[in-house]
Amino acid sequence: MQFPKQFLWGTASAAYQVEGAYLEDGRGLSIWDAYTQAPGHVAHGENGNVACDHYHRFREDVKMMHDMGIHNYRLSISWSRVIPDGTGKINKKGLQFYSDLVDELLANGIEPLVTLFHWDYPLALHHKGGWLNRESTDWFAEYAKVVVEALSDRVQYWMTINEPQVFIGNGYDNGRFAPFLKLPRNEVAQMCHHVLLAHGKAVEVIRKYAKKTPSIGFAFVTPAYSPRSNSAEDIETARSRTFSVNPEDIAFSAAWWADPIFFGKYPEDAYEKLGCDMPTVLPGDMEIISTPVDFYGVNIYESKAAYNPDGYSENAYLGCPRTQIEWPITPEALYWGPKFLYERYGKPIIITENGMAAHDWVHLDGKVHDPNRIDYMKRYLRELLHAIQDGVPVIGYMYWSIMDNFEWADGYDKRFGLVYVNYQTQERTVKDSGYFYQKVIETNGEAIFSDILD
């Protein structure tokens, strides 16, 4: 059994997590540059100053991806590398880096998918109020225009924003991520609205200025809930939980973000649950936010149990299987998540992230053996294929991530990559899972049904 023809098989990364070179060639600081330098925020006091040194090593990294048979690469742009102060003067060297990266990918037969924003907000704009300032929506549109004018002659696939649930929820609500703030709920809600408005304005900009006909979406994360059984009642309970708004954790609610984009309004239960904490919406905002997109990009790693909000569908028991980052292993997330999203919003799905962190190291034979990651990929991709067979138009899968990298507040301990990175020497070693993924791509998915783990 195979995936659809022309299926987008790829991998992903994010600028701050891999590039390094944080002060080189005119790049401005981001909130992650600034706030990881303060003690107590990141494991071992680590930061992305050097990371995987992708800024200097991108050509060898792209060659490595080519040799691995990768067809697509989802990358993100560092806003402050392109416009150091967030607005105003363009850094030509920074923009040239991304132009060169795109050229190198295309020369190696790899199609780029570009994400405009993956959490590294310019520090200069943070000092002006950041996402709480309504002007942030125009700042983002200005930045989007610069990138689109530079790259859209070669780039077709665009994602405006990655995981607003996480950079708002963890950055400004619970204080786990940069800038490590805990703001009142009404301010968090207003930030969410400005992020959505920025997304809508960016979509308008891409449509207006793209030189190559664009395919536009985003990369949200979805708290997919799984039913206890296949009964109609249990499935409806899971669907309801997937799209309900949690007033104590609004940023992580799927419908809170997607309903305004696809329906032009916030979910009804949001008004009931948030009351006076709902954001201020000016005339015309919802029309901009709901500017049509072409696909629903979604990052899915796990599912939750609709029947037990404190547990997980497959493993709400002592000793349940978990990844190195302690996320439960729930392959059915790639069935129910895409299914529920397509039923509600009616757009093709791209899995913009899926993968696992594992305890990886170079073995005595000089190789990195990670059979657990191969097993994980088989289980999750089988469920994704099941969703496709049941009529969900899934058009792509981007494994997270191409290489081990800076995992935000967890530093460098958590290794998600298909490629092992020795951070002392910057040597890359393709893991067994990387070679396995090459077989998956070569067979258009048939390899996920093999019994062997290599």
Residue at token pair 């081990």: 404
Q: Note whether 308 and 230 are within 8 A (CB).
A: no
CA geometry: angle 135, 137, 139, nearest 5 deg? 75
Integer Cα distance of 242 and 220 in angstroms = 14
* Whole-number Cα distances in Å, 338 to 7, 46, 129, 390: 15, 35, 35, 11
The residue length of the chain stands at: 454
Q: Please give the backbone phi and psi of residue 111, each rounded to the nearest 5 degrees, phi first.
A: -85, 130
Give the list of residues 6+ apart from residue 265 with CB closer than 8 angstroms, or none: 259, 286
List residues with catalytic annotation. 163, 353
Integer Cα distance of 56 and 53 in angstroms = 6
Residue at token pair 């204080």: 175
Q: CB burial class (10 A; 0-12, 13-18, 19+) of residue 343?
A: exposed
* Whole-number Cα distances in Å, 296 to 65, 73, 339, 349, 394: 25, 17, 12, 5, 9
- From the CA atom positions of the chain, what is the Rg in Å? 21
Integer Cα distance of 235 and 241 in angstroms = 10
